[in-house]
Structure 1
Amino acid sequence: MSRSNDDPRRQVQVLPERIGNVADSEFPGHYPGEDHSWNLQKFKKNLICSIQRLTPSTVEFDLVGVDASIANALRRVMIAEIPTVAIETVYVWNNTSIMQDEVLCHRLGLIPLKIDPRELVYKKSANSAPHDRDTVVFDLRVRCDKKDGSKGETDPKKMYHDSNVYTGMLQWQVNEDQRKRMGGEAPRPVDPDILLVKLRPGQMVDMHCFANKGTGADHAKFSPVATASYRLLPHIKLRGPIPEEHQEKFQKCFVPGVIAIKEDEYGSPQVVVENPRKDTVSREVLRHKEFEGLVELSRIRDHFLYNVESAGQYRPEELIPEAIDILLKKISDVEVGLDKLFEDDATAA
């Protein structure tokens, strides 16, 4: 899902107070002459959230009109506080592969699992007995044997049965209550083709795996995103016309697509800013004396460009609402705590 640069929903007014210099140390709320008193109607008017690109695994969107602290809180919640389900405990009955038990168990823990965490509860403690409400069980039993009639072959896949152990070989221990809660969908790895270990004839792995609900704050294996980052929208201001003999050089100082050379109404070539989103703010243009005073590089300090890649447990478009719900719950918890504090103070008085 993408939108062109001509889409009016993407046209954001660039006010002088919204622009910050690339190298300065200013931050929102500390600009002389600005009014930062809270106004809900003004906030609603300036707030923009626009999806720029959506694929099965990634989402790119713009968030405009919020403070950097809010933008960063959203990013950190996506990384560390949206719950997922991952393998937490592994019982190794047999492992004669070349890989040590600890390493193989660690690899199992890092497998992204397609399990809806909203249908499970957190385990009470590490020592509590597993229950179908908090634990999903998988078995991994694979043995490598030599194929008949494989003499002369050199390809292990043609020589042996199950020479490679993949995530798709994890077998869910069927639990009908769990199946019903999850809408009839069986728990499984997100990707069935992740290589876990290689085996040779006579070697085998036999493991019993317990998966539990957790968050990225507990361990990175629970994080639902591979990447979650944002950057500020670059702002390139031309302070004067670029001489025709230097226009191509000026254009090459930026990433392709940022600067274009177009004819004006009189047929003369002029430099225009085509797409500042592609700019990496390399400041290469500032190295050349012929462009001194002709261009100003800055960033719009409340226009955030997000890039979020899902690890597969959630669809990418689900991550933002989940993060917002968690932020709202945190705010509600703070409100409850403040109300109780004021009640205690009133009672004491």
Structure 2
Amino acid sequence: MASLSYYAGGEFMNFPYDSEPRRPRIQVTHATKELVKFTLRDTDVSMANAIRRIILAEVPAMAIELVEMEENDTVLFDEFIAHRMGLIPLSSHGVGDIPPDDGVTLSKDCCQGECQACTREFRVDITNYEDKVLTVTHFDIQQDTPETRQFERADWGEKKQVRCCPFRNEAVDEETDRRENGIIITKMKKDQRLKMVCKAKKGIPKFHAKFMPVATCVMNYEPIVTVNHDVANGLTLDEKIEFVKACPRKVFELDIEDTVQVARHGDCIFCDECTAKAREFGKRDLCSAQMDSSIFHFTVEAVTPDGPRTAYDVVRAAFRILDYKLSLFMQDAYGDDIDHYLPQERDKPPN
């Protein structure tokens, strides 16, 4: 989250609570599996930061929690390999966001052991028989064996199945895909063997960073950048060029008449280089860079195109979780029953 401009001044929260209620509005500007950008308007930083924190810390995903090492002849310790296995992303599109969802149950709320409702299993059993170094990647993890199928849900489609990410790219050959997209687990010399059983559980990033469903989530205030042309016209051409070059994001530029204009106000990062240059010229009123603390621009990036969860799936889950938390608050504070919640799918009518 961007910090407030020190020289330009500003307020941390200036939403007029006394005169109007908050009516948040969302405008999605970009939405793909890998990247989502949206703008949140007509609210304050408390609501915007709540959404950001939920995206980063409370959207659930699957990750390997338990590794049973049966044989390890590699140069890496068992604990080191177990740690690497835990960080391999697992597709978690059917994991469920809130209790009403028919997803995976948290282990603490289930059988305290291993069952279809709370556990998925993966196996690794690979031996290097060739006289060269073998690179073991996540493509070597066995995901469809008689042992692993006992934890599969028969009522789940292929989209909801928990699989290691990224998936196999059929557009390239297997060797190229392994080399360019495979997540390296370890390397083995001839006659070395690695055999282990991995159990995946559901969790949230508050428990451990391996459950993080996104690569990053950032928000920025809407910049309000202005130039006082009466003051700017008093600068020499060299001073105008020096002022324009002072901005590292090229927010300002000179037009055909050598007048300073705000060309890209959305690129402003509130670094105050422009106001510092204005003070250097002895013209404090030359420009200002402030924040509109009722408009927030979000950028959410997925870990891989295949998962753990797509970027738009994470954003939708964050709003569902926030809505459910507010419903729980209303239930505890006022005794209101929770009779509805936001739908899991876009085309599904609310319950």
Superposed pair shares fold, TM > 0.5: yes
Please tell me whether residue 281 in structure 1 is matched to residue 290 in structure 2: no
| RMSD between superposed Cα atoms in Å | 2.5
Shift of 1:96: 1.1
Aligned pairs for 1:223-262 (under 5 A) are: 223-241=212-230, 242=232, 243=235, 245=237, 246-262=239-255
Rounded to whole Å, the distance in 1 between the matches of 2:193 and 2:62 is: 26
Say which structure, 1 or 2, has more relative contact order (CA 8 Å, 6+ apart): 2
Q: Is residue 26 of structure 1 aligned with residue 18 of structure 2?
A: no
Alignment of 1:132-147 (within 5 A): 132-147=116-131
Contact 2:120 2:151 in 1 (8 A): no
Query: Percent of counterpart pairs with the same letter?
Result: 24
Return the letter of the residue paired with 2:12: F
Distance 1:196 1:171 in 2: 14
Structure 1 CA distance, aligned partners of 2:12 and 2:249? 30
**CA distance in structure 2 between the partners assigned to 1:38 and 1:328 by the alignment:** 25
TM-superposed CA distance for 1:213, in Å, is 0.7
Amino acid paired to 1:27: F
Deviations 1:225-250 (A, max 9, x none): 11112121222111234235032222
Report if aligned partners of 1:96, 1:204 keep a CA contact under 8 Å in 2. yes
Q: Could you list the per-position Cα deviations for residues 33-58 of structure 1 after superposition, in whole angstroms to 9, with x for gaps in the alignment?
A: x8413745xx44xx432233344312
Write out per-residue CA displacement over residues 196-241 of structure 1, whole angstroms, 9 at most, x where no aligned residue. Answer: 1111112111010100111111111111111112121222111234
Going from structure 1 to structure 2, the CA distance change for 1:38 and 1:123 (only over 3 Å counts) comes to farther
How far residue 188 of structure 1 moved from its aligned partner, in angstroms, is 1.6
C-alpha displacement of 1:61? 2.0
Aligned match of 2:58:
81
Of 168-177 and 129-138, more deviation after overlay is shown by 168-177
- Range with bigger deviation, 75-84 or 302-311: 302-311
For 1:303 and 1:195, locate their aligned partners in 2 and report how far apart those are by CA, in whole Å.
42
- Aligned mates of 1:292, 1:39 — CA distance in 2: 34
Higher helix share: 1
Separation of aligned partners in 1, 2:196 and 2:211: 21
Partner of 2:175: none
Determine which of 306, 310, 314 is the counterpart of 2:302. Answer: 310
Alignment pair present for 1:171 and 2:142: yes
Map residues 203-214 of structure 1 onto 2, 5 A cutoff.
203-214=192-203
Q: Judging changes above 3 Å, is the alpha-carbon distance between structure 1 residues 249 and 53 closer, same or farther for their aligned structure 2 residues?
A: farther
User: In terms of mean alpha carbon deviation, does 169-178 or 305-314 score higher?
Assistant: 169-178
Indicate conservation of the 8 Å contact 1:48/1:63, yes or no.
Answer: yes
Selected match of 2:186 from 162, 187, 197 = 197
Deviation of 1:292 after TM superposition, in Å, equals: 3.1
Instruction: Structure 1 unaligned segments of length 5 or more: list them.
Output: 1-19, 148-158, 342-349
The residue number in structure 1 matching 2:291 is: 299
**Deviations, residues 105-162 of structure 1 (Å, cap 9, x unaligned):** 0110111101331231111369822101111100011111225xxxxxxxxxxx35xx
Letter in 2 for 1:233: E
**Alignment match, 2:317:** 322
SS of 2:291's equivalent? Answer: strand
TM-score by length of 1: 0.78
Count of residues in Structure 1 that have an aligned counterpart in Structure 2: 297
Higher mean C-alpha deviation, range 327-336 or range 20-29: 20-29
Cα distance in 1 for partners of 2:158, 2:218 equals: 34
In structure 1, the residue matched to 2:347 is: none
TM-score after normalising by structure 2: 0.77
Q: 2:107 is paired with a residue of what secondary structure?
A: coil
Distance 2:246 2:31 in 1: 30
What is the deviation of 1:273?
Answer: 0.9
